[in-house]
Chain A
Amino acid sequence: MLRLPLALGVLALVVASPAAAEIARIKQSSGIALVERNAQRLKAAPGFQLLPGDQLVTGKDGRMSLTFIDNTRFAVGPNSRVSVSEFRYDRTRQKGSFVTKVDRGSLAIVSGRIAKSDRDAMKVRTPNSLLGVRGTKFIVAVPK
């Protein structure tokens, strides 16, 4: 009788831990540069670990750069709001899916292994478009 709840507890732990695993790290930041996670606003200092769902927010003099675990690189410009809406990556198979939303501001992207793994496995959404990334370097700008 006692065994079942215990087993369930272990199972929950196993499932919960990959979800909390880091997906990217902040490399540099300057000015007002924050990570919004649920109701929290956290300082985007170098070495800060990102989780899926995090929003990257900069002020008018703010910037930040980050590298994801699939080698994708981001540079976020001033006055920006960028959300990592979806990030799933299997390190062993080097496959996954990645959706980024640029609500405002500017974002430079050098795509990594997820974009290479399958056609349009990496997508970028702006208020008026949806882009499928096919292995490249580009800038998306969304003026306010």
Chain B
Amino acid sequence: MIRAGLAVAIVALGGCATSSLVLLPDDEGHQGAVAVLESGGAQTEAVIAEGNSRTKLGTKSPVAKPLGANGLKKQEAALLTGLPPPAKSFLLYFEQGTTTLTPQSATILAALRGEISARSGPEVEVIGHTDTVGSEADNDRLSMKRAEEVLAWLASQGFDRSMMSAVGRGERQLMQPTMDNVDNPANRRVEVIVR
């Protein structure tokens, strides 16, 4: 009985705290939105879509106000500065039916290595693909081999395997959609995502 009363009191207290939302344009300048699905214990239809705005949460109909001349608070600006860098994606292309990089793609490896080295606590996802030449099963194997080839090269450069993962997606995710058995250099690729 005492416990239940205490729990209710805490929830009520929480309801009084003036949580707030600051909405900003993303790094590419695009403006997204945040829907306020519930506020102060009631469902709402409010959608905050104004960039550089501040919204007090917990009221029945939350309204966004412009940040105005004062802009962000100091601790808000510090928070944004502390965000990790965005994920970066690299595309490496392969010779038909092989795990051999095209000469052009081989020159990208140094940039890839540099990107991983520059990051704190990096994670690397390696995704292999093929074009539609050959059977699906063969292409599953080939795409995996391509991804493993890139992973092995990264490991040879001193990157710990625990930060990396490799998958092969065969011919299921074509960069350029084609009919079956079409030789297509753009589809013979490995994508490396560095986070």
Contacts and interface: CB of A to CB of B under 8 A. Distances in A.
A144 interface: yes
Interface string A68-108: 01010111011000000000000110000000001000111
Contacts of B58: 128-129
B86 A141 contact: no
B174 interface: no
27 contacts: A63-B82, A65-B82, A69-B123, A75-B79, A75-B82, A77-B75, A108-B79, A108-B80, A110-B26, A123-B37, A128-B15, A128-B39, A128-B41, A128-B58, A129-B58, A130-B38, A134-B32, A134-B33, A134-B34, A136-B34, A137-B23, A138-B23, A138-B24, A139-B76, A142-B19, A143-B18, A143-B19
B60 to A, nearest CB: 11
Nearest to B23: A138
Contact of B83 (A22, A65, A120, A127): A65
Interface of B: 11, 14-27, 30-41, 47, 57-58, 62, 75-76, 78-80, 82-84, 86-87, 119-123, 125, 163, 167, 169, 193, 195
Max chain A C-beta neighbours (<10 A), residue from B39, B80, B121: B121
A45 B83 CA distance: 15
B187 to A, nearest CB: 17
Rank and list the top 5 A-B pairs by shortest CB-CB distance, nearest first: A136-B32, A127-B14, A46-B121, A128-B58, A132-B35
Contacts of B34: 131-134, 136, 138
A57 B126 CA distance: 31
A113 to B, nearest CB: 10
A71 B121 CA distance: 14
A91 B84 contact: no
Contact of A131 (B37, B76, B84): B37
A48 to B, nearest CB: 7
Given A65-B84, A136-B24, A140-B21, A47 B163 contact: yes
A71 B195 contact: yes
A108 B82 contact: yes
A139 B121 contact: no
